[in-house]
Amino acid sequence: MPPMEQINQSFLKAYDRYADAIFRYCYFRIGNKEDAEELMQEVFVKSWKFLADGGTIDTMQAFLYRVARNSLVDFVRNRKDVASLDMLQEGGFEPGQDHRKRLNNKLDSESALSALARLPIKDREILTMRYLDGLQPKEMAIIMGLSVNVVSVRIHRAKKHMLKIVQI
Amino acid sequence: MKKYYKRLKREAASIRLQATRKSEIKKHLAAFMEAHPVRVEAEPRQIVRENINYLGFLLDRMNMKIVYTALIVLLGGGGVAAAAEAAQPGDALYPVKVHVNEEVTSALKLSDASRAEWGVQRIERRLAESEKLQAEGKLDSAAQDQVDQLISAHVSSVRSLVNDLALAGDDAAVESIHEHLDGVEQDFDDTLTDLKLSTTTLDVRTEKAHAEESESVEPATKDEAEKGTLEQESAKTEPAEASETQEKAEVPETKEAEPTEVQGTSKREGNETGEATESHEAETPEGEAAGSLN
């Protein structure tokens, strides 16, 4: 059936396009590649199920992020210790080296990602979406179910936190 | 700081799925999608339903008329609507036919009487569609369910309209609706059986009508009740008129019997108003039996 084929194709296209971003989004929240991969797969499976049951999706990107967010909440609930810094490092979350001595040099040498890893989850999520995935505050508001205003305030706060860490 | 974000972005871009993992997961996903295909026709149905509910929540009937008229105009002078008119249960445009076209028509009716009349016509349309499907051998259980649901929705809307009409004292309209429905029942007797619907499904009588109906449907009990009062009455009158001829004695008896009957009836009504529904339910299997016999 052509219309069905069309839906299949566009969904697989969406996978090609957003799989990395969703993976990254999960990875920065839970800090473990295997879990992040699994979650990412779950996100697409869940979204497909929603479509197959007759649901309609307006904006694929926002929808996928929203599903990812909910899946992460479930995941974190089942594993409360997730995303503490220790946990992140144990799980291999060492995107860059973290030599404290050289942090005084601020930005010029160290990994920007290691600073991100030290942020609270909330800020990390905000900054990941805003700067790594390049989402607009408006899109983030849809995904997070918040108003654009609240999102902007949170971005501002997260940036301030980040600034503190980077400038220590 | 800007420099930092630039860098963050650059570094983050290096964190990605391994290409092999990505395509592996894609294969899993494709397999899953194959196993759980999208039901294509489900989509328009849901959209339409949601819209209707949403509008129904926000707007009263007057506003609905405006909205529906605008909707028709927006739909390109009713191109879709016209195309939907020929749709049958299971078709993609069928929801447009029953949830848009027919709702529009309903909203444009000016009186409750004409709206109820249109409701009966909708029931008739559903049955005609089923008849056609049955003739083509396409009346599967999905189509049957769809039609069943729609019919019961139509019936309940007609019922509430008939109730309103009865309360407003428009007996002529109520009667004409009943007549029309009886006609529909007879015309589509076979189809009703095909749909496994009993004739009582199309029952839109008001509670009052039920109560009255149950009186006449149970002649045995009524006779007994009458007999009882008559006997009592004659027991009272007989001693005084014992010497009179039989013929004469009968005359006042029958005369008096009438008011007594009314008395007895109203007594029964008093007893029965509470049980009106119950007695009708008791009556249902009979109706069903009659339906299937026909």
pLDDT in tens, B96-139: 888 887 887 777 777 888 889 899 999 999 988 888 888 888 88
Give the mutation candidate from B2, B3, B7 for the A interface (greatest A CB count, under 10 A).
B7
Q: Summarize pLDDT for A50-75 with one digit per residue, the tens.
A: 888 888 888 888 899 999 988 988 88
Note the pLDDT of residue B278: 45
Note the pLDDT of residue A150: 92
Identify which of B17, B29, B19, B24 has the alpha carbon closest to the alpha carbon of residue A33: B17
Note the pLDDT of residue A13: 92
Q: Higher confidence at residue A24 or residue B92?
A: A24
User: B268 to chain A nearest CA, in Å?
Assistant: 54
Q: Do B9 and A52 touch (CB under 8 A)?
A: no
The 10 Å CB-count burial string (b at 16+, else e) for A122-152 is: ebbbbbbbbbbbebebebbbbbbeeeeeebb
Kindly tell me if the per-residue pLDDT of B263 is higher than 60.
no
Question: Does residue A76 belong to the interface with chain B, where contact is any CB pair within 8 Å?
Answer: no
Give the mutation candidate from A7, A47, A163 for the B interface (greatest B CB count, under 10 A).
A7
CA–CA gap between residue B108 and residue B97 (Å, rounded): 15
Q: State the count of interchain CB pairs (< 8 A) between A and B.
A: 98
Q: Do B22 and A163 touch (CB under 8 A)?
A: no
- A165 contacts: CB under 8 Å, gap ≥ 6: A115, A118, A119
CA–CA gap between residue B53 and residue B76 (Å, rounded): 23
Q: Do B26 and A12 touch (CB under 8 A)?
A: yes
Question: Does residue A116 belong to the interface with chain B, where contact is any CB pair within 8 Å?
Answer: yes
Note the pLDDT of residue B109: 76
Which ipTM score applies to this complex? 0.70
Identify which of B186, B178, B185 has the alpha carbon closest to the alpha carbon of residue B159: B178
Place of tokens 């899109």: A139
Lowest mean pLDDT among A28-32, B194-198, B213-217, B249-253: B249-253
**A24: its two tokens:** 């990254």
Chain A positions in Cβ-Cβ contact with residue B22 (cut-off 8 Å): 19-20
Note the pLDDT of residue B289: 44
Of A1, A44, A134, the CB nearest to B40: A1
Q: Do A166 and B4 touch (CB under 8 A)?
A: yes
Domains, in order of start, for chain A: 1-83 (1.10.1740)
Q: Do B45 and A24 touch (CB under 8 A)?
A: no
pLDDT interval class at A46 (50, 70, 90) = very high
Question: Does residue A163 belong to the interface with chain B, where contact is any CB pair within 8 Å?
Answer: yes
Chain B positions in Cβ-Cβ contact with residue A23 (cut-off 8 Å): 16-17
Nearest CA in chain A to B46: A54
DSSP 8-class letter at B273: G
